[in-house]
Amino acid sequence: MDRILVRGNGPLDGTIEISGAKNACLTLMPATLLTEEPLTLTNAPRLSDIRTMSTLLQSLGAEVSGLANGRVLAMSSHNIDTLTADYDIVRKMRASILVLGPMLARFGSAVVSLPGGCAIGARPVDLHLKALEAMGADLELRDGYVHAKAPTGGLRGARIAFPFASVGATENALMAATLAKGTTIIENAAREPEIADLADCLTKMGAHIDGAGTSTITIEGVDRLGGATHPVVADRIELGTYMLAPAIAGGSVELLGGTRALVAAFADKLEATGVEITETDKGLRVARNGERARAVDVVTEPFPGFPTDLQAQMMALMCTAQGTAVLEEKIFENRFMHAPELIRMGASIDVHGGTATVTGVEQLRGAPVMATDLRASVSLILAGLAAEGETVVSRVYHLDRGYERLEQKLGACGANIERISDDD
Ligand code: UD1
């Protein structure tokens, strides 16, 4: 298994190109199941999660080819030959559940294994299922699988009021509703940019959608959808992660393709720590010179609030900040698994339930540490940039799920970082 070796090496200087969003791509790909015509995604990130989704779609009979070095995904679902999403693939990635709504809407039935994914709390899929039930689906949970059937004549438009603005449940309901009979209104819909991006793509395919990106989405079902070509929106979590690199290591980095609107709440907090953020022609420039960052408190919330997917990385910055910061995790329980690893590097962190209190230390020290989930693993790399000596992060496969060419991107800015393969 690969490991990543980071040596704290002083300020960073350079540019980093932000890739297409993993989470947007993972919901745009299943949209291919809604149509027999080709769907092509450009600006796709090259990540293991995207390969897992390709494998899942291919297992159903869809054609998925990576063109232009994997940046373009050409997909076609004209020849779907099974409606069962198997446990062996689904267990690798929770986003696999996103094939359920589209298959049910177009083919009238689907069997999907209950998902696995990052070990960050219970993460049920009840809201996905309730939304589809509201549209008339008959669902049965048997042997770890959801067996779903649409009523005769197909799914029906419905009023769906989510008790919590779940990203995945909103995406599943939105895709299913595009082919349902009549009007669907999704209330308390998630407002993440990935949802607006999905709605843009579905609209190009011929769907009638109003209000995506707000908390009420209205969908008029249509009889069929057609093909489209769509560029994947920039990855706001990758953007935020690399904004933290100069914040932690010092220096100045320009993030190409980043916009402040994608990370507004996070950018406000980062500025409050004393980091400078400026908009450039091509993206955002982030700089910290001299002074240690100041501690700021953070509460994670659904978009447009501070993203849970940047909490671990922000904690890495707080570990070396001046003062004490309180980080409150409101989206997932059990999402502080990076804290014991950061403590191995000399951080001072106290976790109580969903709250972590971090008192900044002047200097972190390199240590062997273990990645426990995707965002936790990158927080350890960020901490390594500011630590004295060597940090070796093992279980890097978590990182490869969501960060494309991380060593090259950071290395190009002067970071001392390398991948160690066991066969080296
Ligand atoms: C998506 C993102 C993930 C991000 C999360 C929150 C993808 C592929 N993943 O995950 O990176 O951390 O949004 O921004 O886009 N919940 C239920 N029942 C459900 C669904 C969710 O109780 O049926 C709960 C979850 O356990 C969690 C909360 O709702 O506590 C948020 O989950 P949700 O917004 O659905 O996250 P995902 O779509 O899984």
Residue of 25, 118, 319, 413 marked active site: 118
Atom of ligand 1 nearest to the CA of 121: 26
CA distance 62 to 52: 13
What does the CA dihedral 126, 127, 130, 134 come to, rounded to 10 degrees? -170
Q: Can you tell me the distance from the alpha carbon of 350 to that of 212, in angstroms, rounded to the nearest whole number?
A: 39
Instruction: Write down the pLDDT at residue 122.
Output: 58
Express each pLDDT in 77-105 by its tens digit: 999 999 999 999 999 899 999 999 999 99
| 51 Cβ contact list (under 8 Å, min separation 6) | none
Reference 215, options 165, 250, 180; nearest CA is 165
Q: Does the structure show a pLDDT above 60 at 121? A: no
Q: How far is the CA of 330 from the centre of ligand 1 (A)?
A: 12
Nearest CA to ligand 1 atom 3: 309
CA of 66 to the centre of ligand 1 (A): 27
Other C-beta atoms lying within 10 Å of the C-beta of residue 41 = 25
Mean pLDDT across the chain: 95
Helix, strand, or coil here: 270? Answer: helix
Counting ligand 1 atoms within 8 A of each CB, the residue from 53, 166, 197 with the most, and so the one to mutate, is 166
Bond prior to 304 in cis (omega within 30° of 0): yes
- Res 290: pLDDT: 78
Tokens of 225: 């959808």
Of 60, 95, 58, give the one whose Cα is nearest residue 74.
58
List, chain by chain if needed, residues with CB within 6 Å of any ligand 1 atom.
Answer: 23, 26, 94-95, 121-128, 164, 166-169, 190, 308-309, 331-332
User: Which is the closest atom of ligand 1 to the Cα of 194?
Assistant: 15
Residue 158 has pLDDT above 60, yes or no: yes
DSSP β-bridge partners for residue 160 = 186
pLDDT in tens, 43-86: 999 999 999 999 999 999 999 999 988 999 999 999 999 999 99
Q: In angstroms, rounded to a whole number, what is the distance separating the alpha carbons of residues 187 and 165? A: 9
Which H or E run contains 316? helix 311-318
Residues of the chain with pLDDT > 70, as a percent, come to 98
For residue 239, report the phi and psi dihedrals to the nearest 5 degrees: -55, -55
Residue with the smallest CA separation from ligand 1 atom 7 is 23
What's the whole-number mean pLDDT along residues 362-388? 95
User: What distance in angstroms lies between residue 197's CA and the mean position of ligand 1's atoms?
Assistant: 17
The 10s digit of each residue's pLDDT in 403-423 is: 999 999 999 999 999 999 876
Nearest CA to ligand 1 atom 2: 23
Q: Looking at ligand 1, which residue's alpha carbon is closest to its atom 26?
A: 123
Q: Name the residue at shortest CA distance from atom 25 of ligand 1.
A: 123
Confidence at residue 118, expressed as pLDDT on a 0 to 100 scale: 47
Q: What are phi and psi of 43, to 5 degrees?
A: 60, 35
| For range 225-251, the mean pLDDT | 98
DSSP 234: B
| pLDDT reading at 117 higher than 80 | no
Which residue's CA lies nearest to atom 20 of ligand 1? 125
Kindly report the backbone phi and psi dihedral angles of residue 423, in degrees, each rounded to the nearest multiple of 5, phi listed first: -80, 0
Residue 168 Cα to ligand 1 middle (Å):
6
In our burial notation (b when 16+ CB lie closer than 10 A, e otherwise), range 296-326 reads: bebbbebbebbbbbbbbbbbbbbbbbeeebe
Q: Tell me the CA–centroid distance for residue 365 and ligand 1, in Å.
A: 34
Report residue 120's pLDDT band, with 50, 70 and 90 as the boundaries.
Answer: very low
Query: Tokens 């002083």 correspond to what residue?
Result: 10
Contact 43, 71 (CB under 8 A): yes
Q: How far is the CA of 123 from the centre of ligand 1 (A)?
A: 7
Pairing relation of β-strands 39-42 and 368-370?
unpaired
pLDDT (average), residues 265-280:
97
Q: Which atom of ligand 1 is nearest to the CA of 331?
A: 30
118 in catalytic set: yes
Q: Ligand 1 center to residue 346 CA distance, Å?
A: 31
Query: Do residues 254 and 210 make contact, with C-beta atoms less than 8 angstroms apart?
Result: no
pLDDT band at 115 (very low <50, low <70, confident <90, very high): confident
Q: Compute how many other C-beta atoms are within 10 angstroms of the C-beta atom of residue 409.
A: 24
pTM over 0.75: yes
Q: Are 32 and 106 in contact (CB under 8 A)?
A: no
Q: Read off the pLDDT of each residue in 241-252 and give the average, rounded to a whole number.
A: 97
Nearest residue CA, atom 29 of ligand 1? 166
Amino acid occupying residue 401: R
Alpha helix ranges (H) inside 108-164: 126-134
